[in-house]
Amino acid sequence: MRRRIILSTESGADLPEDLADKHSVQVVPMHVIMDGQDYLDGSLPVVDIYDYYERTKQIPSTTATNSYEYQAFFTKIKTDFPDCIMIHIGYTSKASSSFQNALIAAEEFDNLYLIDALNVTGGLAAIVMYAVSLLEKEPTIDPLRLIGKIESIVPKSRLAFVPGSLDFLKAGGRVSNLAYLGGALLKIKPRIELINGKLVSTKKYRGQMSDVSEKLIHDFLNQYDINKDQLYFQYSIGLNDSIKQRMDEIAKEYGFKHVIWIQAGAMISTHAGPGGFGIAGLEV
CA distances from 41 to 104, 116, 230, 236, 281 (A): 21, 20, 26, 15, 24
Q: What is the pLDDT of residue 2?
A: 67
Is 200 a domain residue?
Answer: yes
Domain residue limits at 77: 5-32+63-152
Same domain, 183 and 215: yes
In this structure, is residue 39 part of a structural domain? no
What's the whole-number mean pLDDT along residues 143-163?
A: 97
Residues of the chain above pLDDT 70, percent: 93
Task: Examine the fold and report which residue of 104, 136, 152 is the final residue of a domain before the chain moves on.
Answer: 152
User: Residue 184 contacts by C-beta under 8 Å, 6 or more apart in sequence?
Assistant: 165, 166
In this structure, of 4-18, 109-123, 181-195, the range with the lowest mean pLDDT score is 181-195
Q: What pLDDT does residue 188 have?
A: 78
Q: Return the SS3 of 91.
A: coil
- What is the crossing angle of helices 67-80 and 98-106, to 10°? 60
- Are the CB atoms for 220 and 160 separated by under 8 Å? yes
Total number of domains constituting the chain: 2
- What pLDDT, on the 0 to 100 scale, is given for residue 238? 94
Q: Is the pLDDT of residue 276 over 60?
A: yes
CB 269 within 8 A of CB 46: yes
The arithmetic mean of pLDDT across residues 209-213, rounded, is 95
186 shares a domain with 102? no
Whether pLDDT at 170 is above 70: no
Give the CATH number of the domain where residue 130 resides: 3.40.50.10170
Over 60: is that where the pLDDT of 177 sits?
no
Residues 227 and 253 in one domain: yes
Give mean pLDDT, residues 46-69. 92
What per-residue confidence (pLDDT) applies to 1?
A: 54
Gyration radius of the chain's alpha carbons:
19
CB atoms < 10 A from the CB of 280, how many? 28
